[in-house]
Amino acid sequence: MWQIFHKLGSPKWFYDIASRLMPWLLWIGAGLFVAGVIWGLAFAPPERLQGNSYRIIFIHVPSAFLAQSVYIMMAVAAVVTLVWRMKLADVFVKSVAPIGALLTFLALFTGAVWGKPTWGTWWVWDARLTSMLILFLLYAGAIALGKSISDEKSAARAVAVLVLVGVVNIPIIQYSVEWWNTLHQPSTFTLTERPKMASEMWVPLLMAILGLYLLFGWLACLRMQTEVLIRESRTRWVKERVEQGGNR
Amino acid sequence: MAFDSFEAFVSMGGHGPYVWACYIVFFVMSFVLIQQSRARRRVVMQDLAHRQNGADTAKTDKAGADFARVDPAKH
């Protein structure tokens, strides 16, 4: 058990595993995502009340879903950073924060554009939208805080604390549509019930979510590898990888 | 196919601008982040290779100096 844990924390081990995984993540992820989006855009039937504007769902829900689960992963990594001082956990937090920020922005943007024809407004200050905006600010705060502290270890700890404090926002986002009156519709997917929409709609949506998940994994690996190369630049194994031409 | 013609697909029953704006912004911004991540990876690799090749002669080379963590024990 401890050996596995130790291995997981080894940057060299991570670098080599990531190199092997990345082509799979990229091609399966891109295939699923593109297929789901094309299916959703061109072949899924129009929605009874919203017509065709609902087709935004095939990028809106994957972005919003990933935005939250990336934050949860960051919070787990933050605990590992604080408790076990594992370097790789901090590399993860630093590498994925910009991806999470982009996904949150995209969820907000696509939601606003979807809101205009559906609700008649781009934005309302209700619970779901506001808590997503707070999620975006948390990501932005984590990036800014990490950049403003030059000592690597202090930066890692400060960012980890910020990420952990912000994690209270996640259940608020999740339950906002149930606790408060909101314009936002309830969750499309729940773990316990069958989706309420037609299978021609939820199957492509599920494909887009899974595809985006894998693509996130690919981009996270790429960015983490870069960060590992920088931090371990003095070690022999990095010098070997550089001589091999990067193992891309 | 849920549409009768390509024109119907593009106009999306009047919702075309909303739908396409979302998809364009999504793909453009994702592409930018991906390209930026790949470019940075390339720059770091080149910088490391450059430093390695001229490790002894180019000690004063400042490029990438921010990245290197100096470990006093190894000097």
pLDDT tens digits, residue range A71-94?
A: 999 999 999 999 988 889 999 999
Torsion of CA A187, A182, A73, B64, to 10 degrees: 130
* Backbone phi, psi, residue B58, to 5°: -110, 40
The answer on pLDDT for A183 being more than 60 is: yes
The answer on pLDDT for A116 being more than 50 is: yes
Cβ separation B2–A43 shorter than 8 A = yes
Mean pLDDT value across residues A52-60: 90
- For chain B, list residues whose CB is within 8 angstroms of any CB belonging to chain A: 1-3, 9, 12-16, 18-19, 21-23, 25-26, 29-30, 33-34, 37-38, 40-41, 44-45, 48-49, 51-52, 67-69, 71, 74
Cβ separation A246–B38 shorter than 8 A = no
Residue B16's pLDDT is 83
- Check CB contact of A171 with chain B, cutoff 8 Å: no
Interatomic CA distance for residues A205 and A189, integer angstroms: 10
Mean pLDDT value across residues A203-213: 94
Q: What is the pTM of this model?
A: 0.86
Residue A233's pLDDT is 87
Along the 75 residues of chain B, how does pLDDT read in single tens digits?
778 888 888 888 888 889 999 999 999 999 999 999 999 999 999 988 888 877 645 445 445 455 555 566 655
More confident residue, A86 or A211: A211
C-alpha to C-alpha distances, A20 to A33, A41, A83, A221, nearest whole angstrom: 21, 33, 29, 10
Cβ separation B44–A229 shorter than 8 A = yes
- Judged by average pLDDT, the poorest of A120-129, A159-168, A182-191, A202-211 is A182-191
* Backbone phi, psi, residue A97, to 5°: -55, -45
Of A51, A105, A113, the CB nearest to B22: A113
> Domains of chain A: which residue ranges?
16-181+201-243
Residues of chain A contacting B23 with CB distance shorter than 8 Å: 37, 41, 59
Residue A44's pLDDT is 86
CA distance B73 to chain A (A): 12
Mean pLDDT value across residues A44-59: 86
- Check CB contact of A116 with chain B, cutoff 8 Å: yes
Of B19, B34, B67, the CB nearest to A53: B19
Cβ separation B33–A116 shorter than 8 A = no
Residue A248's pLDDT is 47
pLDDT, mean over chain A: 89
